[in-house]
């Protein structure tokens, strides 16, 4: 094959790849392969908690984010609140991050793999956005959902109930027994 043909095939492959792009279903299938307990029937797409009017407005404007007033019901990520977008985003292109996601959150927040013997699957690969919104949320700790809904987004209630240890337990307070980031045993018990 000549050099010219190789370039043509490479360009065709790149064009095809850009049209196919990774879907949330493909991401979910990949996560279910690596992490036990991830529900493979629900694609990982932003849920209703991520589509509030303020969040939607903030996503529409890259260069000047919509930041709610201090008296609003939203909790804000400190760099976002202080207009320090450059702590996470590339100043020349705000849609780009300054580091890979796996490094970005842990550059300011605890590196849980050093803190715990066992780390929750999404945390171990830097997928903090499975549970947290990076800019603002109506929920404490910038959670995308509240209470057990955070956990049931990946771990279905059916899966949880299959574990005999959950019989007779209040299933609306997962963090009463489990640490969502990591722990000293595989069950991430507190």
pLDDT confidence of residue 48: 41
Instruction: Assess if residue 28 is contained within a domain.
Output: no
Instruction: Please give the Cα distance from 34 to 30 (Å, whole number).
Output: 7
Instruction: State the Cα–Cα distance between residues 165 and 76, nearest whole angstrom.
Output: 37
Q: Has residue 27 been placed in a domain?
A: no
- DSSP single-letter state for residue 47: -
Tokens of 98: 């300054």
Distance CA(77)–CA(43), nearest Å, equals: 26
Range of the domain at 109: 37-183
Question: What are 185's two structure tokens?
Answer: 């045993």
* Mean model confidence pLDDT for the chain: 76
136 - beta bridge partners?
Answer: 76
In a domain, 83, yes or no: yes
Distance CA 63, CA 34 (A): 36
Residue 66 lies in a domain: yes
Report the pLDDT value the prediction gives residue 179, as an integer from 0 to 100. 95
What does residue 75 show for φ and ψ, rounded to 5 degrees?
A: -95, 135
Residue 5 lies in a domain: no
Q: Which residues contact 146 (CB under 8 A, 6 or more apart)?
A: 49, 139
Torsion angle of the four alpha carbons 166, 168, 173, 176, in this order, in degrees rounded to the nearest 10: -70
**Confidence (pTM):** 0.63
Close Cβ partners of 88 (under 8 Å, ≥ 6 residues apart)? 79, 97, 98, 104, 134
Residue 97 bridge partners (DSSP)? 89
Q: Is the dihedral of CA 82, 88, 91, 97 positive or negative?
A: negative
- pLDDT tens across 103-140, in order? 889 899 988 888 999 999 999 888 899 999 999 999 99
184 confidence band (pLDDT: 50, 70, 90)? very high
Residue 123 is assigned to a structural domain of this protein: yes
Residue 26 lies in a domain: no
Number of domains in the chain: 1
Measured from the Cβ of residue 28, the count of other Cβ atoms closer than 10 Å reads 19
188 belongs to a structural domain: no
């Amino acid at each position: 094959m000549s050099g010219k043909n190789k370039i043509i095939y490479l360009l065709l492959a790149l064009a095809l790849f850009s049209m196919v792009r990774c879907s949330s279903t493909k991401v979910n299938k990949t996560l279910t392969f690596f992490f036990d307990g991830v529900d493979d029937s629900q694609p990982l797409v932003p849920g209703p908690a991520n589509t509030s009017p303020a969040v939607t407005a903030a996503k529409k404007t890259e260069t000047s984010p919509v930041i709610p007033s201090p008296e609003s019901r939203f909790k804000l990520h400190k760099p976002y609140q202080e207009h320090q977008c450059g702590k996470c985003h590339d100043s020349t292109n705000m849609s780009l991050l300054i580091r890979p996601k796996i490094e970005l959150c842990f550059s300011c927040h605890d590196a849980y793999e050093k803190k715990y013997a066992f780390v929750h699957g999404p945390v171990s690969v830097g997928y903090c956005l499975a549970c947290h919104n990076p800019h603002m949320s109506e929920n404490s700790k910038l959670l995308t959902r509240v209470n057990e809904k955070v956990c049931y987004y990946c771990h279905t209630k059916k899966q949880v109930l299959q574990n005999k240890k959950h019989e007779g337990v209040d299933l609306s307070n997962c963090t009463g027994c489990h640490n969502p980031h990591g722990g000293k045993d595989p069950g991430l018990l507190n």
